[in-house]
Amino acid sequence: NAVVHWFKWDLRTSDNRALCLASEKARKAGVPLIALYVLSPQDFDAHLTSPARVDFMLRTLGVLKTDLAKLDIPLWVEPVDKRRDVPGRVMELMAKWGASHLFANVEYEVDELRREAKLVRECAEKGIAVEPVHDTCIVPPGQLTTNAGKQYAVYSPWFRSWIRHIHENLELLELSDPPGPNPTSTRALFATLFDCDIPQAPESKSLSVEEAKRFRALWPAGEHEAMKRLGKFCEEDVGNYGNNRNLPSVPGTSNLSVHFASGTLSTRTAVRTARDRNKTKRLDGGNEGIQKWISEIAWRDFYKHVLVHWPYICMNKPFKPEYSNIEWSYNKEHFDAWARGRTGFPIVDAAMRQLTNMGWMHNRCRMVVASFLSKDLLLDWRMGERFFMEHLIDGDFASNNCGWGFAASVGVDPQPYFRIFNPLLQSEKFDPDGEYIRKWVPELKGIEGKAIHDPYGRGAGDRARKAGYPKPIVDHKGARARALAAYKKGIDSG
């Protein structure tokens, strides 16, 4: 007999709700706990998981396996080719191990919910208990509604309600205990499970040697690294977060998104750690940097709530259905220029090169390049959403889809479509000295002063041309007018 915890994107032992419950169940029943991870290459393909993200996950599994082994808990990694076979394979393993209980944290995306529903149904027929647990959001989806009983579609009132709900239910911020050790006899009983190797990445998701080296140096994996980064950020930077968070040349944000997305750190732990440095226990009081950081973490919860209530956003549909009829340009050359960081708009190009180099992009720049793609280039926002997922190490469906929806004005955002970022003004405001641009666009390194933001428009065209930097591929003013007309036409025809 045994109890199983199925790891997904919750790759940590500390403050893991389902793992903690599984461990308690096993202890009370006097049976061992087995940890399972199902590796489905078809899932990676279907969800456009980037090779950097797969590599991070595999490295994390290595850390997890070592940590669990110290507690005599085996971690078994099961490769399953076809994702529709996942529930069946989990049940086969449960039967093979004589396990009667399966614990797992819920993933809210449509494919995952369908998979879980199938598993719960089939397990029930076989007398196996499945315990799906809310873990990834601080406030589980479904808890917050407006006075009229509806789901919030606007962040600010939702956030006030989120704060209120946490203050009234402080147990939401209580951390779960790490799993306790298995009886040492587990080693002999399940010897083959302890021998399980962490597999290589599937062919379609493998990194080149150079990429692996780069990503591994940039993003050390596992929960201990997450805790180190969190500690350092809360020690050194969170107080100034409000001032620095919009400046891409300043390392003023936490860089923890990869850990939240992989589940190597829980947002509860992050919020508690920040709150404990504040002079008040309230999440909306005291140090402004801390408050602001907590409110950004809340965006992650908000978007997951949106996903649960409007699941059609998982099916390539815009949150606002009336924006379904916009005639996008689908200009391949424009898309390629955007993707390669060759648009002639330095801030856009710097950001896109940061993405492909690091697997990460600064939030301000994510907004700038998303607005540029959907408005200035009038390209279908889903092309950009897809490219992001294929390259981000922190790719998370809800945050990415909703971030794109927001920037392209088709998502959860009360602002109408005529909010169009001017890339030049964004550049001047958020990268005033051009430091970020010079770092990522070395062709422009020698250009000084304000010309860095628009070399061809500000007298540095010859230098830029000689260095091989392209001219702007569109004129912002004209592109803006074209976008406004296309959006209006699309909505009117809906």
Confirm or deny that 397 is annotated as ligand binding: no
Confirm or deny that 493 is annotated as ligand binding: no
Report yes or no: 115 and 8 within 8 Å, Cβ to Cβ.
no
Confirm or deny that 256 is annotated as ligand binding: yes
Distances (CA, A) of 104 to 35, 239, 393: 10, 36, 23
Site string for ligand FAD, 9-38 (x = CB under 6 A): ------------------------------
Active site residue 310: no
* Smallest separation (angstroms) from ligand FAD to the CB of 315: 18
Site string for ligand FAD, 369-408 (x = CB under 6 A): -x-----------------x---x-xxx--xx--xx--x-
Active site residue 400: no
**By the rule CB under 6 A, 255 interacts with ligand FAD:** yes
Please, which residue, 255 or 426, has the CB nearer to ligand FAD?
255
Confirm or deny that 293 is annotated as ligand binding: yes
* Smallest separation (angstroms) from ligand FAD to the CB of 382: 12
Beta strand 99-105 pairing with 2-7: parallel
Confirm or deny that 254 is annotated as ligand binding: yes
Site string for ligand FAD, 285-324 (x = CB under 6 A): -----------xx-xx--x---------------------
Please, which residue, 326 or 389, has the CB nearer to ligand FAD?
389
Confirm or deny that 45 is annotated as ligand binding: no
Please, which residue, 190 or 387, has the CB nearer to ligand FAD?
387
Confirm or deny that 303 is annotated as ligand binding: yes
Please, which residue, 378 or 444, has the CB nearer to ligand FAD?
378
Please, which residue, 37 or 260, has the CB nearer to ligand FAD?
260
CA within 13 Å, CB half, 458: 13
Please, which residue, 186 or 253, has the CB nearer to ligand FAD?
253
Interaxial angle between packed helices 288-309 and 397-407, expressed in degrees from 0 to 180 and rounded to the nearest 10: 100
Which of 381, 385, 400, 401 is the catalytic position?
381
* Smallest separation (angstroms) from ligand FAD to the CB of 244: 10
Which of 162, 338, 404, 440 is the catalytic position?
404
When binding is defined by CB under 6 A, the residue of 8, 245, 304, 305 that contacts ligand FAD is 245
Q: Which residues pair with 79 in a beta bridge?
A: 39
Q: Which residue is nearest to ligand FAD (CB)?
A: 403
Please, which residue, 76 or 388, has the CB nearer to ligand FAD?
388
* Smallest separation (angstroms) from ligand FAD to the CB of 370: 4
Active site residue 390: no
Confirm or deny that 255 is annotated as ligand binding: yes
Confirm or deny that 297 is annotated as ligand binding: yes
Active site residue 422: no
Spatial separation of the C-alpha atoms in residues 490 and 494, rounded to whole Å: 6
Please work out the total of residues on this chain that contact ligand FAD, with binding judged by CB under 6 A: 27
Active site residue 404: yes
Active site residue 182: no
**By the rule CB under 6 A, 162 interacts with ligand FAD:** no
Q: Which residues are catalytic?
A: 296, 299, 328, 363, 381, 404
Task: Give the residue ranges of the annotated binding site for FAD.
Answer: 241, 253-257, 293, 296-303, 394-396
Residues at the site binding ligand FAD, with contacts judged by CB under 6 A: 245, 253-257, 260-261, 296-297, 299-300, 303, 363, 366-367, 370, 388, 392, 394-396, 399-400, 403-404, 407
